Amino acid sequence: MGLPALLLLALCAAGARGLYFHIGETEKRCFIEEIPDETMVIGNYRTQMWDKQKEVFLPSTPGLGMHVEVKDPEDRIRPVEGEPLTAVLQVVLSRQYGSEGRFTFTSHTPGDHQICLHSNSTRMTLFAGGRLRVHLDIQVGEHANNYPEIAAKDKLTELQLRARQLLDQVEQIQKEQDYQRLGRIKRRDNSSPSGSSHCLPLYLGIMFEMYREERFRLTSESTNQRVLWWSIAQTVILILTGIWQMRHLKSFFEAKKLV
């Protein structure tokens, strides 16, 4: 299996995540999602309340509220009077939803995004015994696109829709690669000692890494092209050899007057 196929397989496996979890009345549950920049994320959730009498989880009442908050990985320095400077995450989304809902946001900074959910309903203690089950499904990148709706809106054929999906997958893979490259650069930057005297070696190291990646890509493309031409040459040689053998055998049989 080639590298592009492995990347597509990994992307498909990581593009959508479905799970459920239990929370209490005032408990907040957070998840870390590694997302490239300029990537759309869609989350769908529904809640169930614990029934003490039946001892099962049942669909929640419409009055139950869920608060969703999303923070990006970029730190902001917040000055507090009388205290040292503290770094806080920038809030991307903070909104109140019902017992079942759908939230959407687009990442503007690559990295680990924090997605938190908690219930603000005080009725949960009375009716649910303090237990709430939340089903959460997070879709990232091209998995968040509603392709049937896109096909109906743009009047795309099945072939055009498939091409659109492949283009979106390639774009998402490119974003993932850019994010991984940026992550390596940031880790190298953080591990380097501070000071202007280290800026030039760091810059040269980054440029050398980019040069190595470009050389590796060109070498891979050249190797693939050579393998393709060699396969074609082998096929042509086999065909010519077969034609020569047939003509030689025909001449031999004619000389022996067997045909």
pLDDT of res. 10 = 44
DSSP string of the chain, one letter each residue: --HHHHHHHHHHHHHEEEEEEEE-SS-EEEEEEEE-TT-EEEEEEEEEEEETTTTEEEEPPTT--EEEEEEEEEEEEE--TTS--EEEEEEEEEEEE-SEEEEEEE-SS-EEEEEEEEE--TTHHHHSTT-EEEEEEEEEGGGGS-HHHHHHHHT--HHHHHHHHHHHHHHHHHHHHHHHHHHHHHHHHHHSPPSGGGHHHHHHHHHHHHHHHHHHHHHHHHHHHHHHHHHHHHHHHHHHHHHHHHHHHHHHHHHTT--
- In the structure, what pLDDT confidence band is assigned to residue 126 with cuts at 50, 70 and 90? very low
**Span 97-111, average pLDDT:** 86
* 188: its two tokens: 């190298």
pLDDT at residue number 83: 54
pLDDT in tens, 135-144: 998 888 766 6
* pLDDT value for 139: 85
3-154 CATH fold: Jelly Rolls (2.60.120)
What average pLDDT does the chain have? Answer: 75
**pLDDT at residue 200 is higher than 70:** no
Is there a contact between 142 and 168 (Cβ–Cβ < 8 Å)?
Answer: yes
Confidence label for 245 from pLDDT (cuts 50, 70 and 90):
very high
Confidence of residue 18 (pLDDT cuts 50, 70, 90): low
- Tell me the domain boundaries of the chain: 3-154, 196-259
Tens of pLDDT, residue by residue over 45-78, are 988 888 778 878 888 877 778 889 998 876 554 5
